[in-house]
A and B are shown apart, each in its own frame.
Chain A
Amino acid sequence: MVGPQVSVEQLYLEHAHGLCRLAVLLLEDQGAAEDVVQEAFLGLHARPTALRDPDAALAYVRSAVLNGARSRLRRIRVARRHLQQLVPAPSAESAAVLAEDHREVLHALRGLPARQREALVLRYWAGMSEAQIAAAMGVSTGSVKTHTSRAMVALTRDLRSRQ
């Protein structure tokens, strides 16, 4: 049993900002994040049957945002080989308003592999359970545990090395 069909516009109004924040946490680039979110909703627009169930529609867009962000990061890594450039640095505005500790943690987070970063962002920002994260990332709950655990070890090591 599903609820009434929703429109892409309605879903966008309710969830685009939250998903844009998710994409920024993964990409640290506002413009790229907006593009990823737009593409995710356009993908939903092309699949009207997905709109029959609002929860499923949201899950579809969320996964599309994760996939889109991962794909962008992959392209950035390729570009990095040529340009010797790491993932985009945080914008000047965001850096200005963040506390020192927040900046340190976010810097360490940017050094993690994409999947580990996704697992941490979905757990500690979006407040999702392991099962929800697994569904969103398209992996098993065991993989989520592994990604999370390895990410926390790496973060701890990185932050200690800065002290």
Chain B
Amino acid sequence: MMDLETRLANALAARAAVVPAPPALRIPPPAHRSRSLLMVAAAAGVVAIALGASLLPGRAHPNSSVGKAPAKLPSALVATVDGDLALLDPADGEQRVVSHGAGRRVLTIAGTGDGKTFYLGRAVADKGCASTMTRVEVDAVAGTARETEVVRSAASVTELALSPDGNTLAYVLNSERPHGPRNQCDLSEMHMRDLRSGLDTRLVANAARLPGGEPEPTVVGSMSWNADGSRLVFIVEECCDASASIRAVEPGRTLVVDYLHTPVLVDTEQLGCLPQSVVQREDDLLISAAACGAGSQDFLLSWDEQQRRATRLAVLQSRLSSMTYRSRLVLAMQLEAVVKIDGGGRLRRISGGYTPGW
């Protein structure tokens, strides 16, 4: 049973998360002041338009290799609940254990697409946020995997996404707030790491503050690159599963430091559902969404960015997490099973597992 302080903090955070932003400030006074306010508002509009234009969603690059199905799909890597790693053949779901994780939980996996090199986040202990990010080289013939530590952090590495060229790794670090509940890792920063130079930059964090000055809890969920690596989309959960938005950054073109300055592609209100995970496909965003409509069902949705419209592809028995996209196929987790999703949104369970990376 949760203690009262935690229940109280969670309840207040959940209620606060669904409070809409107030309307603009209405200051009555003198005419010359109203005019200067108008000028400020007009200038802000120009900045917003310029920022929006620079971050307009891009279509898939026509020469991209993604979309042309290869002769054989590369192997995916799957973790068990105990932190063991297994190579997964996405064709038939066959698994082959390549590493034993000594009980350290795997939080997330991302692959380069060659079926041999992967990155993963592992918890350091059962409690707390501390984790490591490791590079995993799999030898499929020998049935072994070698892990090399890339980053060790007091924060939790919960999301990873490798750019299509394999040179840039986007990752999310979740830490405790200075005065927040213990072991609640709900303050996210998104980082980018150039894997050739090792240069690490913080891409996005949340500058919003609660009235006392404490950082506002914000968690970045799913992340997905587009086909030419120009755009990264991600989900921001404001708090406690109450509302979320899918946002985008263009890491090569814009320097973004605050979630609030990233364009919203779609949010809970527009979708009528709570987005749980997202992948960018050539023609749409594939979204796993929870609590849709009056029946509070979970759906797999296709979001058309041009038409700004969602199409239901499938009813979900439970929420999908860790969706990963390659060669027109999606691997995702549903409960403790890996499911394969084809272009039309049909789901098929292919294997057991905990979190897949491709």
Interface, chain A (partner B; CB < 8 A): 8-9, 12, 14-22, 24-25, 30, 33-34, 37-38, 41-42, 45, 62, 65, 90, 93-94, 97-99, 101-103, 105-106, 109, 120-122, 124-129, 132-133, 136, 152, 155-156, 159
A18 to B13, CA, bound (A): 11
> How many angstroms from the CA of A98 to the CA of B214 in the assembled complex?
23
Q: Which single member of A24, A41, A42, A136 contacts B15 (CB below 8 Å)? A: A24
Q: Mark B197-221, 1 if CB is under 8 A from A, else 0.
A: 0000000000011111110100000
Q: Verify A102–B10 contact, CB threshold 8 A.
A: yes
Task: Assess whether A42 is in contact with B9, with CB atoms less than 8 Å apart.
Answer: no
Segment at the A interface, from B16-24, B53-61, B346-354 = B16-24
**CB nearest neighbor in A for B243:** A97
Q: Are B25 and A99 in contact (CB under 8 A)?
A: no
Which stretch in B80-88, B110-118, B131-139, B175-183 binds the other chain? B175-183
A4 to B15, CA, bound (A): 35
What chain B residues lie within 8 Å of A24 (beta carbons)? 15-16, 19
B8 / chain A contacts, CB cutoff of 8 Å: 105, 109, 120, 124, 155
Q: Is the CB of B15 within 8 A of A98?
A: yes
Cα A18 to Cα B23 with chains together (Å): 13
Knowing A9-B25, A20-B22, A127-B179, the reply to whether A105 touches B7 (Cβ < 8 A) is yes
Interface residues of B (CB under 8 A from A): 4-5, 7-16, 18-23, 25-27, 29, 37, 40, 177-180, 208-214, 216, 240-243, 291
In the bound complex, do residue B212 and residue A124 qualify as a contact, i.e. CB atoms below 8 Å apart?
A: no
20 A–B contacts, CB within 8 A, in A order: A8-B25, A17-B21, A18-B208, A20-B21, A22-B210, A24-B16, A25-B12, A25-B15, A45-B29, A98-B18, A101-B11, A102-B14, A103-B11, A106-B15, A109-B11, A124-B9, A127-B179, A129-B212, A132-B212, A133-B212
Question: Once the chains are docked, how many angstroms separate the CA of A25 from the CA of B9?
Answer: 12
Distance in Å: Cβ of A30 to nearest Cβ of chain B: 7
Bound complex: CA A125 to CA B180 (Å): 9
Question: Are A127 and B212 in contact, CB atoms less than 8 angstroms apart?
Answer: yes
B19 to chain A: which residues have CB within 8 Å? 17, 20-21, 24, 30, 33
Measured between C-beta atoms, what is the minimum distance from A98 to chain B in Å? 6
A25 to B231 Cα, complex, angstroms: 37
* Among B178, B242, B243, contact of A127 (Cβ-Cβ < 8 Å): B178
Q: Which of B5, B21, B22, B213 contacts A38 (CB 8 A)?
A: B22
Q: A24-B15, A24-B16, A127-B214 are in contact. List 17 more A-B contacts (CB 8 A).
A: A14-B209, A18-B216, A19-B211, A21-B16, A25-B15, A34-B22, A38-B26, A94-B15, A97-B18, A98-B15, A102-B10, A102-B240, A109-B8, A122-B212, A124-B8, A129-B179, A132-B212
Most buried by A among B11, B178, B240: B11
- Please give me the residue from chain A that is nearest to B41 by CB atom: A9
State whether B242 touches A37 (Cβ < 8 A): no
Closest Cβ of chain A: how far from B137's Cβ, in Å? 43
Look across to chain A and name the residue whose beta carbon is closest to the beta carbon of B26.
Answer: A38
**B214 neighbours in A (Cβ, 8 Å):** 126-128
Distance from A125 Cβ to chain B, minimum over Cβ atoms (Å): 4
A54–B128 alpha-carbon span in the complex (Å) = 35
Q: A124-B8, A129-B179 are in contact. Are A16 and B21 (CB under 8 A)?
A: yes
* Inter-chain contact B22/A16, CB cutoff 8 Å: yes
Which residues of chain B are near A120, meaning CB under 8 Å? 8
- Sorted nearest first, the 10 A-B pairs with minimum C-beta distance are A127-B214, A128-B212, A126-B212, A125-B12, A105-B11, A102-B11, A21-B16, A127-B179, A20-B22, A126-B210
Q: In whole angstroms, how far apart are the Cα atoms of A99 and B213 in the complex? A: 27
Closest Cβ–Cβ distance, residue B296 to chain A (whole Å): 9
Q: Is the CB of A125 within 8 A of B9?
A: yes
Q: A90 → chain B, closest Cβ, in Å? A: 8
- Chain B residue at minimal CB-CB distance from A122: B212
Q: Once the chains are docked, how many angstroms separate the CA of A122 from the CA of B16?
A: 12
A106 to B180, CA, bound (A): 19
Closest to B27 in A: A45
B25/A125 in contact, CB under 8 A: no
Q: Is A155 a contact partner of B22 (Cβ separation < 8 A)?
A: no
B40: shortest Cβ distance to chain A, in Å?
A: 6
What residues on A are CB-neighbors of B14 within 8 Å? 97-99, 102
Question: In the complex, which residues of chain A have a beta carbon less than 8 angstroms from the beta carbon of B241?
Answer: 99
- In the bound complex, how far is the Cα of B22 from the Cα of A34, in angstroms? 6
Query: A14 CA to B216 CA in the complex, in Å?
Result: 12
